[in-house]
Structure 1
Amino acid sequence: MAFLFRWLFRITTGLIALALGIFGLTYYFAARSLPDYNADFELAGITAPVEIVRDNANVPHIFGTNDTDVYYALGFVHAQDRMWQMTMLRRTAQGRLSEVFGPRTLKIDELMRRLDVYPLSVRSVAVQDPETRAALEAYADGVNAWLGEVNEGARGRGAPEMWMFNHPVSPWQPADSIALMKLLAVQTASQLENEVLRARTSLVVSPERIVDILPDDPGNGIAVLPEYASLVPGTQRYAANNRMPNDPLSPTKPRAHAGASNAWAAGPSRAAAGSTLLANDPHVGLTAPTIWYLARLELESGGVIGGTVPGIPVVLTGRSAALGWGITASYADDQDVFIEEVNPDNSTLYRGLDGWTPFTTRDSIINVKDGVSVTLRMRWTDNGPVLPPDQFDLGTITPPGHVTSLSWTALSDKDTSISAAMRLMAAKTVEDAIEATADYVAPSQNLTLADRNRIAMKTIGALPARDAAHQSQGRLPSFGYLPQNRWQGVRPYSENPEFVEPTGGILGNTNNKTVDAPFPDHVSFNWGDTQRINRWRRLMQAREVHTRESFIEAQLDTVSFTARSLLPLMGADLWFTGDPAPDGTPERRRQQALELLAAWNGEMNEHLPEPLIYAAWLRALQDRLIRDELGPLASEYTHADPVFIERVFRNVDGAAAWCDVIQSAPEETCTEISRQALDDALIWIDETYGNRVQALRWGDAHQATHDHPVLGNATILNWFVNIRQSTSGGDNTLQRGLTSGTRPNPFQNIHAAGYRGVYDFADPDSSVFVTATGQSGHPLSRYYDNLGELWRRGEYIPMSLDPDLARAAALGVTKLFPDTPQ
């Protein structure tokens, strides 16, 4: 027995030692890629010494003698901290993910190849202004300089992920940065999906009911559109196709998760300190690390500081000493789907304006790891690339004998967006900034501006010029061979919405409707917000003057205007009614829930039970209203539309008809449906979180999911690479935490403010900012999530252009020197 025990002890000890050895070896190799922020480097391609001071939050402050060296250093630090993220973004834009991940990402690659994003970017390099081309080349040289250091210095292949997905990393090119700008457009686009969903819905719902379930934003209405089947005769009701995979690496997002943001500014008359204020928080899909990277550049035109995207040498949102700028998605209708008729006798021809016209074609080979390479035959019409029926559910709305093509402003080979963004960083005044962004193409944004004395907002980006006789006004797919449906170029930049020095002294945007112009001067029919803007208006008008603190308070506000406006309608005949019910019965639980909601102020606080009850009730209510009429299509409506719910309960234009279940003999009332939906919600809550209503926490359901796009689902590793946080806010609060909308966790916070900044031009060095995770993309770095807890608590770090403040608590100083020939 003793002999057996000794050998068991030896084997166990050996296994433990072996496990510790493997762990230690793995940690050693993974940690090799952690950069030393106090190292000096002699590098080719730089013309003079550059100093990179990393403050105590690991924000690099880059000081050089000329702009090209500063951009070189920015490329160097981006690669140091986010090499894996940059290479994955580039592969996504190039349609080359499958070389690393195999068949899993094949459909993603197919879409990106068909959109032709990377070849368009390569051709766009030539149209940049000379200063931008020089900056792009210098930036690429900086990225490649770090790649050289990794290769020569045995620095763990640059990132831990490189050990797991070993694949050569090609040198960075100027076109790569332009491609990443286009990728931002892909990630924030939603009009294509809006068109397809409207078309699919019109095949099962009468035209007069379309304005209920897909309502226009409040404002002047438009005539009811024709049924899609009458607009495109011969359309059949197809079953849904296999859509793009719900993969974290996919650049396309469901329409509910398209671009969103907040930005507002106050002029001197509405600011307590007598100068201007500006706040901005762009909303993005949450990842670890976040897409944002903080940096300060000391350019020849002056210092700029704010949010950059690794791979793009531009401060996209931030400030200089004289000017602040913020971005919000404009929701401009810059995409149109066209139905193209194919010649039944010759599939290489489609119907053009002058008869049968040959498709433009090109083959592209996608290499697939552990699989067979795929040769993709890509086709274009005069309107744009042809997309297959199994993407975006296009097959469900395409008549037999036809294909669909896409017109989109982002698909330009003369895309000067990055040149415009470069010029914006050098602008000193509101007027300079508006002029600087005249050549910006995509993604379309509302640019909020503040210099020391004036504020403004301008919609930037190319907006299509449509014919007033367009069959569907761009709201539904239409025949591509009809001249009135085709784009007539782009509208003049001067006609883009513009607001300068508003009379009230305050302006802002929460992705809400900004102009109420008739088609074709409308900008969009589908805006991103009808709710947050109401709360914002109240907070702005509640004070005669504002401060940095009041702007921060608004940015972090979690009161839901939607809850406060809809709950009185949803529970109008339910509050404090019914006989007393024994504890533990469904009736008693309903009464308890209604008692809580009746006293609730609409604050989506993570520690309260009311937000969870309300959110689950609203979700169940919309599903009950639409499921009987839409059938499986109801699953595409992942988020409750407050305007739809209000129309139903106020019976606007007969919208209460949605409350009647058409398959049942009795005629249900909205009160019955609302009560049943509340019971549905409470049953789901019981099954998921337990049956003690008062013990529920919104934050348990509304966890921010900063997940690693590649390793986030890997067992054990996900504990190291994912960042999960209980959060306040919701779909319709200013501190927006957009929920997933899909089971099993429909209320997870997956889309929120990846960056927050508040700039006070009365005291610029008191300006503050923060990002959602940290500066480093390395899971073993202390800066992987160093800002995440501040972000969750609603705290910020200073945003100073004072070099002495940066150096005062620097965690490291890196110096780059020109390589001297031996």
Structure 2
Amino acid sequence: MKTIKRLLKGILVLIILLVISLYFYLQHIKPKYKGDLTLSPLENKAEVWFDSYGIPHIYAENKGDLYLAMGYLHAQERLFQMELVRRIAPGKLSEILGKDLLPTDKFFRTLGIHLSSQEAAQKLRTQTTNPTLKEAEAYLRGINEFLEKGPTPLEYELLGIEKTPFTLEDIYNAVGYMSFSFAAAHKTDPLVSFINAELGASYLKDLGLKADTTRQMIPSYFGDPIGLNEKSSAMLLEMLNQLPVSPFIGSNGWVLGPSKTKSGKVLFANDPHIGFSQPSVWYEAYLETPDFQLYGYHLAGYPFAILGHNRQVAVGLTMLENDDVDFFRETENEADSNQYLYKGEWKSFDYRDEIIKVKDEEDIVFQVKTSLHGPVVNGVLGEIVGPDPVAMWWTYNKLPNQVLDATRKLNNAQSPEDVTDALKLIHAPGLNVMYGDAKGNVAWWATARLIKRPEHVNSFTILNGSTGEDDPLGYFDFSSNPHSVNPPAGYVFSANNQPDSVNGYYYPGYYLPEDRARRIKQMIDSKNDWDSEDVKKMLMDETSPAVTQNIGVLLTAMENASLAGNDQKALELLRAWDGKFGGQTAAPIIYTRWLYTILEKAMKDELGQDKFDLFMSTTDLRKRTFPLLIANDSSSWWYNADKKTVEPRQDVIYGALISAVASLEDDLGKNIDKWKWENIHTLTHNHALGVVPLLGKVLNVGDFHVSSGEEVINNWGYPVTSENKYRVSFGPSTRRVVDFSDIENSESILPTGQSGVFHSRHYDDQAQMYVEGKFRKMTINKKELTTSGKLLMLLPDK
């Protein structure tokens, strides 16, 4: 008995010691928010005031010290996020996360982003007087100072990550990944090509690939001068789902000019839509020197803000969704597989070897083959139909990378002309850049090098690489890009929808439906006395005019239907629904399940289950297709391949409602009054290591039961499936309201918190506020900080 007691006492002592050790370890790795901190590369003292949400306000004597401090502080909160981001584009995730990420690494190595990064970094290093180089290197010195002297993050310890210095190549790789995630063609073209080849061109008509002039477009105003198949898409989507950081999805942005606001000053709103994760994508910081001020939003490992404002100007962005990728089928020489046909001549493929390090495994060596169009994606992007290689042509890899210079110029812009000069340098990714300033100017620019293509080319399908006749013809001049500067309407807006034509030409792209854009315009046009409170409410709007329009079409198709019980009650709920995705209503549940079932009955017989699931996952296609399909009596999709007959549109819609309600009864019970949208619509911010159940309980943030839905202004996306849960995967990565009538009280919010260190109080201190639609101040007045903030003095090592 005494032996057992001694054993138990020993175990208890061991547990106590472990708890104490864990406590002191967690205290050790917490970010430093006050006191003194010596940084050896610093030239002069600098002050950092942290507000109540842990956002640093850095005051330095020069830009070198400013960006050095920024790099250090960014790293102390987000080093692991930086590590992941710098590894995606060069294909180095397997080295720390294991062999499951090997297909992803092979794909990104094949794209060659890392080669473009090396070229851009080498070129920048030769420009010794370029301020972009000086400020980027200062930022890197700050990161590496923390890497050397700061505490090691928990994730590094758990994964056994070796610390290696950050470089200019890492910065370019970060923006390279952003450019890739903005490009939709990788995810869409293979499926569209399959439908075109296997089912015929008539099946493309309801996919909404062509510009529809009856829909709400982004209006331009020039008045002011200033062989793939569907498995390729499936494989890519699977790889993207494995990525441990957030992809860019979509966005809203609008800028109200003096004629639309109560104050007569510009009101600016922006909420870029990005995949949810923990930590969230943006790191906020206010930067100030005697001749520079900026409140900015920074990507992991990137020195310059992507979104930002000061007392003079505000800049934000949404995704343009332009098509900057083409796939070319090359004709291989039967006598020599190292050659391909181009304009009547046999040309030799280029080859390079890539070595990928894999955790706890032998290194993997594979060969990348490249034609003049680009890298051959056979083997890294799923199965290829036919024996010939398919090469990927991508604007990002075709032109010199000047994005770093462009973003620095944007951070220093003081006028529309300054912004235009910066935007001319951006070739990819495609962006809608929103602008407003204290002088009353409002503007929007579609920003990218937009491709000139031959008139016969359908850029959504695989092109012929052998003749040269399908090749891009070059690029339009930036002056021909859609844009609007100080339009007569008094405002500009963007919601990833199709821009209006320029000289009669509609630039092809993967634009989202008009749903959000129409709602934004509808609301802005309703009044001319907007204030910041109105704009904040608008950012949280949950109503979709497109949903009520779709329901109107469906109800017309159901006019002669004989219904009873829950079928009839479901129809009555939809008839009374105003399109608002409220948490306490059943209507969004019924509508979403009916939508899914209609598409399933119309398309699965032709596509099969796997391809149908892929179609539903290809969000832009699904959203464009549904309203066109349900309104088209003669759609090819009404042909039932199983029954070998055409089913009337009304019959499919009727049968889908019956099936949808029956499946919901099985999932949620027969009492329709208890069906509540927020019970099955949930949001969790997942940490990269949260897939491990024990770690997920500690590192993930959520689960929140939420209202709202997709393609409303407060746009929360989720996979639309037959399951009884709709788990939100993306949404507003921040909500910003910049009010030039009261610039010091402009407001924003982050989805979780500023810090990526889970033991920090700022790890998730904004999460509940975010789901409730609350905001917090973006403080730019130093006097406020000195009375309520915490001071961290940065001292040079003398």
CA distance in 2, matches of 1:556, 1:626: 34
1:535 is aligned, of 509, 519, 524, to 519
Aligned to 2:180: 186
CA distance in 1, matches of 2:416, 2:458: 33
**2:622 is aligned with what amino acid?**
D
2:413 is aligned, of 422, 427, 443, to 427
Per the TM alignment, residue 93 of structure 1 is displaced from its structure 2 partner at its CA by 2.3
CA distance in 1, matches of 2:792, 2:42: 14
Deviations 1:136-177 (A, max 9, x none): 100000001111212xxxx2x1x1111110121211112211
Deviates more, 1:712-721 or 1:631-640: 631-640
3-state SS, counterpart of residue 348 of structure 1: strand
2:255 is aligned, of 259, 262, 265, to 265
Aligned to 1:199: 193
Per the TM alignment, residue 781 of structure 1 is displaced from its structure 2 partner at its CA by 1.5
2:243 is aligned, of 242, 250, 253, to 250
CA distance in 2, matches of 1:813, 1:279: 30
1:334 is aligned, of 311, 324, 329, to 324
**1:138 is aligned with what amino acid?**
A
Per the TM alignment, residue 215 of structure 1 is displaced from its structure 2 partner at its CA by 4.3
CA distance in 2, matches of 1:733, 1:329: 16
The answer on 1:212 being equivalent to 2:209 is no
With over 3 angstroms needed to count, the CA separation of the structure-2 counterparts of 1:303 and 1:251, relative to structure 1, is same
With over 3 angstroms needed to count, the CA separation of the structure-2 counterparts of 1:243 and 1:264, relative to structure 1, is closer
Aligned to 1:611: 588
Per the TM alignment, residue 526 of structure 1 is displaced from its structure 2 partner at its CA by 2.4
CA distance in 1, matches of 2:356, 2:422: 39
Deviates more, 1:13-22 or 1:267-276: 13-22
Percent identity at matched positions? 24
Normalised by the length of structure 1, the TM-score is 0.89
Per the TM alignment, residue 523 of structure 1 is displaced from its structure 2 partner at its CA by 2.2
Structure 2 matches for 1:406-805, cutoff 5 A? 406-412=392-398, 414-452=400-438, 453-468=440-455, 471-517=456-502, 521-574=505-558, 578=562, 587-632=564-609, 633-638=611-616, 639=619, 641-651=622-632, 654-655=634-635, 658-664=637-643, 668-709=647-688, 711-724=689-702, 725-742=704-721, 744=723, 747-805=726-784
Aligned to 1:95: 91
3-state SS, counterpart of residue 563 of structure 1: helix
The answer on 1:168 being equivalent to 2:162 is yes
3-state SS, counterpart of residue 203 of structure 1: helix
CA distance in 2, matches of 1:490, 1:658: 36
CA distance in 1, matches of 2:448, 2:274: 19
3-state SS, counterpart of residue 419 of structure 1: helix
Per the TM alignment, residue 251 of structure 1 is displaced from its structure 2 partner at its CA by 7.7
CA RMSD of aligned residues (A): 2.6
**2:698 is aligned with what amino acid?**
F
Would the aligned equivalents of 1:241 and 1:389 in 2 still touch at CA under 8 Å? no
The answer on 1:122 being equivalent to 2:122 is no
CA distance in 2, matches of 1:296, 1:190: 33
The answer on 1:45 being equivalent to 2:52 is no
**2:52 is aligned with what amino acid?**
N
Per the TM alignment, residue 12 of structure 1 is displaced from its structure 2 partner at its CA by 6.4
**1:443 is aligned with what amino acid?**
P
Per the TM alignment, residue 317 of structure 1 is displaced from its structure 2 partner at its CA by 1.0
Would the aligned equivalents of 1:304 and 1:320 in 2 still touch at CA under 8 Å? yes
Per the TM alignment, residue 662 of structure 1 is displaced from its structure 2 partner at its CA by 3.7
CA distance in 2, matches of 1:440, 1:239: 29
Aligned to 1:229: none
3-state SS, counterpart of residue 389 of structure 2: strand
With over 3 angstroms needed to count, the CA separation of the structure-2 counterparts of 1:10 and 1:297, relative to structure 1, is same
Normalised by the length of structure 2, the TM-score is 0.92
Aligned to 2:224: none
The answer on 1:297 being equivalent to 2:287 is yes
Aligned to 2:375: 385
CA distance in 1, matches of 2:768, 2:214: 44
CA distance in 1, matches of 2:499, 2:278: 33
Number of residue equivalences: 777
Would the aligned equivalents of 1:218 and 1:530 in 2 still touch at CA under 8 Å? no
CA distance in 2, matches of 1:75, 1:616: 47
Would the aligned equivalents of 2:747 and 2:776 in 1 still touch at CA under 8 Å? yes
Would the aligned equivalents of 1:575 and 1:594 in 2 still touch at CA under 8 Å? no
3-state SS, counterpart of residue 109 of structure 1: helix
1:79 is aligned, of 62, 65, 75, to 75
With over 3 angstroms needed to count, the CA separation of the structure-2 counterparts of 1:249 and 1:89, relative to structure 1, is farther
Would the aligned equivalents of 2:481 and 2:502 in 1 still touch at CA under 8 Å? no
Aligned to 1:813: 791
Deviations 1:557-603 (A, max 9, x none): 00122221111222335479636xxxxxxx41212222222222111
**1:578 is aligned with what amino acid?**
S
CA distance in 1, matches of 2:568, 2:138: 66
Structure 2 matches for 1:229-244, cutoff 5 A? 242-243=235-236
With over 3 angstroms needed to count, the CA separation of the structure-2 counterparts of 1:35 and 1:545, relative to structure 1, is same
3-state SS, counterpart of residue 522 of structure 2: helix
CA distance in 1, matches of 2:560, 2:653: 15
Deviations 1:668-716 (A, max 9, x none): 333332232223323333343333322222122221231012x121112
Aligned to 1:33: 29
Q: Any stretches of 5+ residues in structure 2 without a counterpart?
A: 216-226
With over 3 angstroms needed to count, the CA separation of the structure-2 counterparts of 1:252 and 1:355, relative to structure 1, is farther
Would the aligned equivalents of 2:117 and 2:173 in 1 still touch at CA under 8 Å? yes
CA distance in 2, matches of 1:54, 1:368: 40
The answer on 1:65 being equivalent to 2:61 is yes
Q: Any stretches of 5+ residues in structure 1 without a counterpart?
A: 222-231, 580-586
Would the aligned equivalents of 1:219 and 1:516 in 2 still touch at CA under 8 Å? no
Would the aligned equivalents of 1:764 and 1:800 in 2 still touch at CA under 8 Å? no
With over 3 angstroms needed to count, the CA separation of the structure-2 counterparts of 1:95 and 1:662, relative to structure 1, is closer
